[in-house]
Amino acid sequence: MANLPILQFEEKIVETVEKNSVVVIIGETGSGKSTQLSQILHRHGYTKSGVIAITQPRRVAAVSVARRVAQELDVPLGEDVGYAIRFEDRTTSKTRIKYLTDGVLLRESLSNPMLDDYSVIILDEAHERSLNTDILLGLVKRLVRIRASNFKVLITSATLDGEKVSEFFSGCPVLNVPGKLYPVEILYSKERPVSYIESSLKVAIDIHVREPEGDILIFMTGQDDIEKLVSRLEEKVRSLAEGSCMDAIIYPLHGSLPPEMQVRVFSPPPPNCRRFIVSTNIAETSLTVDGVVYVIDSGYVKQRQYNPSSGMFSLDVIQISKVQANQRAGRAGRTRPGKCYRLYPLAVYRDDFLDATIPEIQRTSLAGSVLYLKSLDLPDIDILKFDFLDAPSSESLEDALKQLYFIDAIDENGAITRIGRTMSDLPLEPSLSRTLIEANETGCLSQALTVVAMLSAETTLLPARSKPSEKKRKHDDDSNLPNGSGYGDHIQLLQIFESWDRTNYDPVWCKENGMQVRGMVFVKDVRRQLCQIMQKISKDRLEVRADGRKSSSRDDYRKLRKALCVGNANQIAERMLRHNGYRTLSFQSQLVQVHPSSVLSADNDGMMPNYVVYHELISTTRPFMRNVCAVDMAWVAPIKRKIEKLNVRKLSGGPAPSFKVPEEKTELSKNNAETPAVSENVESRIEAARERFLARKGQK
């Protein structure tokens, strides 16, 4: 601790903070900014008038940094120094230094918009540009203006972004604190390789044979490439002549590995053995692997993007930014001087790479964030002109308003409704919040809580797809898991949880049925949290069966599907006349299909339900709806009328010229001769189709 570079700047930092409300700190890796800034300000009296809050984009970071600071100050964790993350608040009224995730601070600002418990707010790792940190930047800028002079803001950022943040805060001072990294030699390829798997393989084996000891970290884009490279490396290492070089262990590292596989990289290798770690960008920031001396950087990353006009997500392999490239290189210099092999030429780095990664706020659906901002009721703030460091497109903001309007969170003038206010109390995506509120009205809240919790945990629920036996979980005939009773995935998720519930939450049941124990326990936690919030909101005394051992009935399913329809009014699709493709109704109409992993299947006549709601549109090999639920046409009708009446201009508070959603004759019609021209009379046409289908079937 004594040698941390930041401590040499203590005087300078304190002096600058004293004179300015906002200060940007450029602190490179190893500078100690996350643990020391709070202590420096504490030593100089900034905890006398309030608490120092330090936000982190990740839960583990908030906990581990708080723990370190408590140790350094020699106080018990949770008293003078504490942390707050979802499900876990380890602070008391005594707490002076509080580490928390950016999401928790946003939640706090709902109940205390002035955040006046805090004398100082430090937004750490702001260069990562998480959605929540970006919103906090805007809110904090406003608070600096409103709150008296006893409020200080510090923002930590990366070299390439510092000036920009400073400009955002009217040219506030920028302090540079050097890191404690060893020099890293950067080596560029002459040209982009044809196959970066083969190229990484060659470079890695070269290092292994020629270079002194030290682990090799290789950045790839995803699980598939990682597995390919791992097996190629294993092959190659085996074929090297015995005794010609040291031993090697090869580890894959990515998010869908079970935690016990991930932590293997933290145990030191046996002597005279080199480790190869083939990783996604999880090793860029989230996990730090000690002992790495060589980094191989493919120059690519897989990134999730959102298209606001189609409502569709996609995962694309794209070029990394300069900030990311430098972050990756830095991973080689933590223990001693290292080398970074970039599989691209210098000119590509210099001319093609963006300076910084496109912030999340410009790549995701903003429905939740816009609702959050609306619920703050800031009189001086117009959402569409909210002061963002990097503003999202107006198209993206209008998309958010449109979605919120479809699910009744805002009215036709864009004002937040009573329902919208209630929704913002729930830590969920808007469509899930809306589902819960509707379910509370119609008497299926218990079931809705389960489904919503299951959906929020979905990524941690399913096992990694490497086990072939579990690949077809949903369609295996010998699987004991319920099948959704013909209504689709939401009902199946409900049934799965109820099955587990009946075993009294037996972990063995999870293993036998291919569900991750950790994921299911998370579902239980989320469900409990949501249940507590709904207890406060509920109009009647809530009877939520938390541990009822009884299965839901068909009638329950029906109520639940109806609530899901209201909650997903922004995510409805109508089946095509003669085949089982669907067209989306709430966005620019597009042809989509039910994802093959869905349990929703065709009826005896070979036809899928006429209407479905979906949880997510994702474009992979083709556009798919993931997690679908069959709904009745009668429930869809009023929503369709609302969609037709939509006036986006009015929603965004502008004048109200007529604005018609392109409803028909879209791309879809061009590509597909079977597309119905108008969607009136759908019923009769579907009936006709069914007859034709049956006739064909009869002929065979």
Partner DNA sequence: GAGCACTGC
**What is the torsional sign of CA 224, 225, 228, 230?**
negative
C-alpha–C-alpha distance, residues 543 and 239, integer Å: 65
Tell which one of 31, 47, 280, 327 touches DNA (CB under 7 A).
280
Tell which one of 428, 437, 563, 565 touches DNA (CB under 7 A).
428
Tell which one of 5, 255, 482, 606 touches DNA (CB under 7 A).
255
Residue 228 touching DNA (CB under 7 A): no
C-alpha–C-alpha distance, residues 265 and 287, integer Å: 9
Tell which one of 90, 96, 254, 490 touches DNA (CB under 7 A).
254
Instruction: Print the binding letters for residues 208-227 with DNA: x by CB under 7 A, - otherwise.
Output: --------------xxx---
State the Cα torsion 231-235-240-243 to the nearest 10°: 70
CB of 256 to DNA, least distance (A): 5
Residue 319 touching DNA (CB under 7 A): no
Q: Kindly report the backbone phi and psi dihedral angles of residue 555, in degrees, each rounded to the nearest multiple of 5, phi listed first.
A: -65, -40
C-alpha–C-alpha distance, residues 686 and 690, integer Å: 6
Comparison of 497 and 624: residue with beta carbon closer to DNA: 624
Comparison of 503 and 597: residue with beta carbon closer to DNA: 597
Residue 8 touching DNA (CB under 7 A): no
Residue 60 touching DNA (CB under 7 A): yes
Name residues contacting DNA, limited to 92-151 (CB under 7 A). Answer: 101, 103-104, 107, 130, 132
Q: Looking only at Cα atoms, what is the longest distance across the chain?
A: 89
CB of 465 to DNA, least distance (A): 4
From residue 458, give the alpha-carbon distance in Å to each of 21, 325, 382, 401, 512: 42, 31, 34, 26, 18
Tell which one of 471, 518, 545, 649 touches DNA (CB under 7 A).
471
Q: Quick one: tokens of 148?
A: 């008296």
Tell which one of 159, 189, 256, 485 touches DNA (CB under 7 A).
256
Comparison of 172 and 253: residue with beta carbon closer to DNA: 253
Instruction: Print the binding letters for residues 624-653 with DNA: x by CB under 7 A, - otherwise.
Output: x-x---------------------------
432, 566 Cβ separation under 8 angstroms: no
Side-chain half-sphere exposure of 232, counting CA atoms within 13 A: 17
User: Contact region for DNA (CB under 7 A) — 56-64, 206-214, 388-396, 549-557?
Assistant: 56-64
Q: Give the type of residue at 371.
A: L
Comparison of 55 and 552: residue with beta carbon closer to DNA: 55
Q: What is the 3-state secondary structure (H, E, C) of 525-546?
A: HHHHHHHHHHHHHCCCCCCCCC
Comparison of 451 and 618: residue with beta carbon closer to DNA: 618
CB of 280 to DNA, least distance (A): 4
Instruction: Print the binding letters for residues 339-368 with DNA: x by CB under 7 A, - otherwise.
Output: -----------------------------x
108, 38 Cβ separation under 8 angstroms: no
Q: Give the type of residue at 82.
A: G
452, 432 Cβ separation under 8 angstroms: yes
Query: What secondary structure does DSSP assign to 269-317, as a single string?
Result: PPTTEEEEEEE-GGGTTT---TTEEEEEE-SEEEEEEEETTTTEEEEEE
Strand 174-177 relative to strand 184-188, pairing: unpaired
User: Contact region for DNA (CB under 7 A) — 18-26, 233-241, 595-603, 653-661?
Assistant: 595-603
State the Cα torsion 16-22-27-33 to the nearest 10°: 80
Site residue total, DNA (CB under 7 A): 46
Side-chain half-sphere exposure of 569, counting CA atoms within 13 A: 27
CB of 8 to DNA, least distance (A): 31
User: Contact region for DNA (CB under 7 A) — 32-40, 300-308, 436-444, 663-671?
Assistant: 300-308
User: Contact region for DNA (CB under 7 A) — 156-164, 289-297, 470-478, 546-554?
Assistant: 470-478
CB of 419 to DNA, least distance (A): 17
User: Contact region for DNA (CB under 7 A) — 45-53, 240-248, 592-600, 663-671?
Assistant: 592-600
Tell which one of 44, 67, 68, 86 touches DNA (CB under 7 A).
86
Tell which one of 20, 30, 59, 652 touches DNA (CB under 7 A).
59
Q: Quick one: tokens of 667?
A: 């791309």
Residue 29 touching DNA (CB under 7 A): no
If you ran DSSP here, which 8-state letter would residue 77 be given?
A: B
Contacts of 611 (CB under 8 A, 6+ apart): 572, 573, 574, 575, 630, 631, 632, 633, 635, 636
State the Cα torsion 455-461-463-464 to the nearest 10°: 60
Tell which one of 272, 504, 621, 684 touches DNA (CB under 7 A).
621
SS3 label, residue 96:
coil
Residue 438 touching DNA (CB under 7 A): no
Name residues contacting DNA, limited to 515-534 (CB under 7 A). Answer: none
Closest CA to 317 of 201, 217, 223: 223
Comparison of 433 and 552: residue with beta carbon closer to DNA: 433
Comparison of 366 and 439: residue with beta carbon closer to DNA: 366
Q: Quick one: tokens of 572?
A: 């409805």
C-alpha–C-alpha distance, residues 468 and 511, integer Å: 15
Residue 685 touching DNA (CB under 7 A): no
Comparison of 162 and 330: residue with beta carbon closer to DNA: 330
User: Contact region for DNA (CB under 7 A) — 181-189, 319-327, 469-477, 530-538?
Assistant: 469-477
* Site residues (vs DNA, CB under 7 A): 57-60, 85-86, 101, 103-104, 107, 130, 132, 222-224, 254-256, 280-282, 286, 302-304, 315, 368, 427-429, 456, 459, 465, 471-472, 475, 595-597, 616, 618, 620-622, 624, 626
